[in-house]
Amino acid sequence: MQEPETIKGLERGLQVLQVMQSRAVWSLHDIHLATRISKPSLLRILNTLERAGVVSRRLVDGQYRMSGLARLRRRRDRYDQVAEAAAPVLDRLCQKVLWPSDLLVPAGDHMERRESSRPLSPFVTHSPYVMNRVGQPVGWLLTGVGRAYLAFCPDKERETILQRLRKSDKPEDRLARDPKRLERIFAETREKGYGTRDRIFVGGTYGSPPLNDGLAAIAVPLLDRGRVHGSINILWIKTAFTIEEFASRHLSDLQMAAREIVMTLRTSKKREAN
C-alpha cells in the first residue's frame, strides 16, 4: 500500500512548535540549532506562525515565544500572556510619543522587566547604564512602576509584599519600615494617577549598587477590576522635561495604552475559555 504524501512545510512548522514548547523564549539561532532547519526557511515558518497568532516576537530583543493561541504550547505563567498583550501596544506607544516604555510584573521581593520598547526609541541610547534586558529585577518602593502597582493593588496583596520587604536588609527596601510615609506616597500616587521615582533613586537593578541612568519616568498600573497585572511606564531624559511637564504631555497616552493591554488580556481570556 502506497504511503500517503506529506506536506513538508507543515511538518517543519510542527517541528518548530514542538521545539518551542520546551522553554519560554527562543532566538532564531537557537531554533536553527535545535531543528537544523536553515535560517531563511525558519524565518518564513516563523513569519507564517506569527501571522496565524501562534508565535509572537518580543520587542526588546527580537526573540520568539509561543502565543496565547497556541494550543500545543507548554503551560506558561500568566505574566507571559501580559507581556504578549503589551508588546504591540508598547510598540505603538513608542511610535507615537518616541520615548520608550517598559512592562514590569511582580516577582516576589522585586518586580521583573518582561517587555520593553527601549530598542525602538530614538532618544534613549543603549549603554551599560541603561537597562534593556528582559528579566532584570527592579525594586518596589523607590521606582515609579513599583509605586504605581502597590498604590492600586488589593490591600491584602500590598501588605503581603510589604511584610516581605520589611524583613529585607537591602537599602532600597528600608522604606517598608516607614508605613506612614509609604501611605502618603501611595495616596499621592492614587490622586495623580501615576507613580514616579523617589528622589534618591537614580537607576539600577534591585540588589545592586545604584547606576545613574539619567532618566525619569511616570508609570501606571494595568488595573483590571480591582486586580493589577503589572505596571507600564514611559521614560525620558530627565533634563528634557520636569515630571509635571511630561505628564501633561503624555500621561493620557500611557493610560490609554494600559487600558488597551487590559482589554487585550480580557479578550484573550474569553477566547481561551471557549
- pLDDT at 198 exceeding the cut of 70: yes
Q: For residues 80-86, give the mean pLDDT.
A: 93
Which strands form 25-26's sheet, in the order they lie side by side? 25-26, 64-66, 55-57
Of residues 253 and 133, more confidently modeled:
253
Residue 123 confidence (pLDDT): 87
Of residues 204 and 7, more confidently modeled:
204
Residue 84 confidence (pLDDT): 92
- Give dist(CA 167, CA 156) in Å, integer: 17
Over residues 26-42, the pLDDT tens digits come to 999 999 999 999 999 99
Q: For residues 173-186, give the mean pLDDT.
A: 98
Lowest-confidence pick of 35-44, 52-61, 139-148, 153-162 = 52-61
pLDDT class for 78, splitting at 50, 70, 90? confident
Q: Which residues of 79-110 are buried (b: 16+ CB within 10 A; e: fewer)?
A: bbbbbbbbbebbeebbeebebbbbbbbbbebb
- pLDDT at 48 exceeding the cut of 80: yes
Strand partners, 111: 106, 138
Of residues 249 and 53, more confidently modeled:
249
Of residues 67 and 14, more confidently modeled:
14
Residue 4 confidence (pLDDT): 53
Of residues 257 and 15, more confidently modeled:
257
What is the set of domains in the chain, with CATH numbers?
A: 8-66 (1.10.10.10), 78-273 (3.30.450.40)
Residue 274 confidence (pLDDT): 62
pLDDT class for 131, splitting at 50, 70, 90? low
* Whether pTM exceeds 0.85: no
| Beta strand 195-196 pairing with 137-138 | unpaired
CB 67 within 8 A of CB 84: yes
